[in-house]
Amino acid sequence: MRDATISTDVTAHDTHDLQRAPERDERDDPRVLWPLIVLFWIVNVALTTVEVYVMAQTSGRSPRLLGLLAFMTPSYLVWFASVPLIVGVLTRRFAFSSGRLLRSGAVHLVASVVIGLATQVVDTLTMRLAEPTVPFLPMLLGMARVWILWAVFTYWFFVVMVLAVRHYTTSRARQQRATELAAAVATSQLAVLRTQLHPHFLFNALNSISSLVFDEPREAQKMIAQLAELLRATLDDGGLGSWPLRRELELLERYTAIEQVRFGERLGVQIRCDAEALDAIVPSLLLQPLVENAILHGIQPSIAGGTVRVVARRDGRWLHLVVDDDGVGLPQSATNGRAERVGLSNSRERLEKEFGDDQALEIGPANGAGTEVQIRIPWATREATNGAGT
């Protein structure tokens, strides 16, 4: 019974939060809103001054500009005092949201009339200082007959401007948050993919070492030393999502050294990389699972063994990477196995999440025998990346 009560309270609280979410979400950007508010009132004062001056001219008077501004100052002080109320309260609680149009319209209509009448009362009191013999009420009615519609229009125009600016800044903030959220999700997904690779590789390396502990203890010791160097180098990367191809090939050489201790002369490794391509930025540990798949599915099943080749070159705006072997090839039945799902499919997912459609990973038979994996990603270097970030 207590759990049900707690659940009901939480649900009601969540529903209330959801209903109030739009109000909390619509935040003003002071850098955008307040300069526009200042500009609005500057334009309004200028237009009102021109209109009062023209009306005075038509009645045969020639008022001075400073005199007009002094006369209008008290009523504009009413407007300026009302701005925090309009911006911070009225336009927030009565923002013409769905289901509240009539209520919001009624509240703003009353507010526009009240503030408009307040400005007319202040103007009337100011005029009575110059003409104290004129009765207050007739003077107020005369002022209101001429200026009340202008005051109401000013209020509504100001409210529309505030709501429009708020909607614009809120939409832009939501779009920015959506972009940041998408980037965060992609980053976390890439991190998950990388954490899948590390245990998978470590399991296979330890399995290789265990197979040599009793039969070839010296070779097992060499593999342990190579594994320690590889793990140390991998942990030193600080969790980087990408690094230069030079770094990738250094770790790949440590990994293949472990496998060469296990396979001996049955495994050959060739790495050919253009000097220019060494500085290219690639996703970390991109090649290792592909080489691992080539060894496990191409070289290991072959009695004679074989060679795994890694080629890297630049072609214009692209970096081309090739991993192939001359082993037995990758049978169709192996495409559903765990090794490929964690290796090839993992690499494909990482490339898609990092580069979108601006990449390619293709697998097929190599020339003669074996399997070939070709990767194409955009060319980038650390200097170009840092320059784009600044």
Question: For tokens 């490794």, what's the residue?
Answer: 269
Beta-bridged to residue 321, according to DSSP, are 312, 375
pTM of the model: 0.49
CB 86 within 8 A of CB 111: yes
What fold characterizes domain 211-389? Answer: Heat Shock Protein 90 (3.30.565)
pLDDT tens readout for residues 61-93:
777 778 778 888 888 999 999 999 999 899 988
What is the pLDDT at residue 198?
Answer: 55
The residue type at 136:
F
What is the pLDDT at residue 12?
Answer: 43
pLDDT tens readout for residues 340-381:
445 677 788 888 888 888 999 999 888 878 899 999 999 998
- Within 10 angstroms of residue 234's Cβ, the number of other Cβ atoms is 17
CA distance 267 to 244: 26
Q: Which residues of the chain are under the pLDDT cut of 50?
A: 1-24, 193, 196-197, 334-341, 390
Would you state the structure tokens that stand for residue 250, as one six-digit string?
């250094």
CA distance 158 to 36: 10
Beta-bridged to residue 270, according to DSSP, are 309
What is the pLDDT at residue 50?
Answer: 86
CB 246 within 8 A of CB 279: yes
Length of the chain: 390
Q: Could you tell me the residue ranges of all domains in the chain?
A: 2-179, 211-389
Would you state the structure tokens that stand for residue 345, as one six-digit string?
């499919």
What is the pLDDT at residue 382?
Answer: 77
What is the pLDDT at residue 261?
Answer: 79
